[in-house]
């Protein structure tokens, strides 16, 4: 499979790096091809409702697609960081694990993931994963909506003494507005229409609402 277009220029500090239109259409083409671009009535993790949802897991179920997305995202991370050596890639479970692993493969880095503690609901390292002080790290997600999970992992890494160089995602659903407290890149930026539950036209039409993804609302 070929790449997804030309490499974009790096963004300014803490801002998103926008892809070329050719690359963006190719990324969305993968979602269409794998039936991962869902239309209906969805309740997002934020509690807002939307008529569309991108289910990255369905695209990443194809290893060749996951490898190419990881390679392309790694290229954009390297552009943003000026080609600096990256020691470790960290992804929040569950959605970020596969793409984080593929980005780490492309960067020749270690691949770790964080999990939510059942008692505190805070991101933490388990399974013997450790960060060594002074390591250079990036945080990778499949989808950024509010940026909350990515920001938690950035803060966790910094508290462990890591130097967080950047964050990246396949999809940015925030329209470029999410603040993750680090420079970031994405392969596709979207600005989907969302509604509060009290003002949702899909609710008024009686369309059943479903909660996609792996994280409870």
- Half-sphere exposure for 197 (CA within 13 Å, toward CB): 11
Report whether pLDDT(79) > 90.
Answer: yes
From the number of C-beta atoms within 10 Å of its C-beta (0-12, 13-18, 19+), residue 38 rates as middle
Question: Exposed, middle or buried: residue 108 (CB in 10 Å: 0-12, 13-18, 19+)?
Answer: exposed
The string of pLDDT tens digits covering residues 86-100 is 999 999 999 999 999
> Closest Cα partner for 170 from 70, 78, 92?
70
In the predicted model, what is the mean pLDDT of the chain? 87
- What pLDDT score was predicted for residue 45? 78
Residue 68 has pLDDT above 60, yes or no: yes
- Give residue-wise pLDDT tens across range 119-167: 998 999 999 999 999 999 999 999 998 899 999 999 999 999 999 999 9
Residue 122 DSSP label: -
Collapse the DSSP code of 73 into the 3-class scheme (helix H, G, I; strand E, B; otherwise coil) and give the result: helix
Of 74 and 21, the structure prediction assigns the larger pLDDT to 74
List the one residue out of 32, 34, 12 whose CA is nearest residue 24.
Answer: 32
How far is it, in rounded angstroms, from Cα 42 to Cα 49? 5
Q: Token pair for residue 53?
A: 């949802």
- Domains and their CATH numbers in the chain: 58-192 (3.40.50.2020)
Which residues partner with 189 through β-bridges?
172
Backbone angles phi, psi at 33, to 5 degrees: -60, -35
Identify the pLDDT of residue 215: 57
> How far is Cα 166 from Cα 134, in angstroms, rounded to an integer?
15
């Amino acid at each position: 499979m070929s790449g997804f277009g030309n490499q974009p220029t790096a963004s300014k500090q803490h801002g998103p790096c926008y892809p070329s239109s050719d690359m963006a259409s190719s990324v969305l083409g993968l979602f269409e091809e794998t039936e991962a671009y869902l239309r209906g009535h969805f309740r997002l993790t934020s509690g807002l409702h939307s008529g569309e949802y991108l289910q990255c897991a369905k695209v990443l179920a194809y290893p060749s697609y996951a490898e190419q997305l990881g390679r392309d995202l790694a290229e954009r991370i390297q552009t943003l960081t000026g080609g600096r050596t990256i020691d470790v890639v960290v992804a929040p479970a569950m959605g970020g694990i596969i793409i984080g692993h593929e980005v780490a493969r492309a960067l020749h880095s270690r691949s770790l993931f964080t999990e939510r503690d059942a008692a505190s609901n805070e991101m933490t390292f388990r399974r013997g994963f450790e960060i060594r002080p002074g390591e250079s790290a990036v945080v990778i997600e499949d989808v950024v909506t509010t940026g909350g999970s990515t920001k938690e992992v950035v803060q966790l890494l910094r508290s462990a003494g890591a130097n967080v160089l950047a964050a990246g995602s396949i999809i940015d659903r925030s329209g470029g507005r999410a603040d993750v407290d680090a420079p970031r890149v994405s392969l596709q930026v979207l600005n989907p229409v969302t509604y509060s539950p009290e003002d949702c036209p899909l609710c008024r039409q009686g369309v059943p609402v479903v909660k996609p993804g792996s994280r409870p609302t």
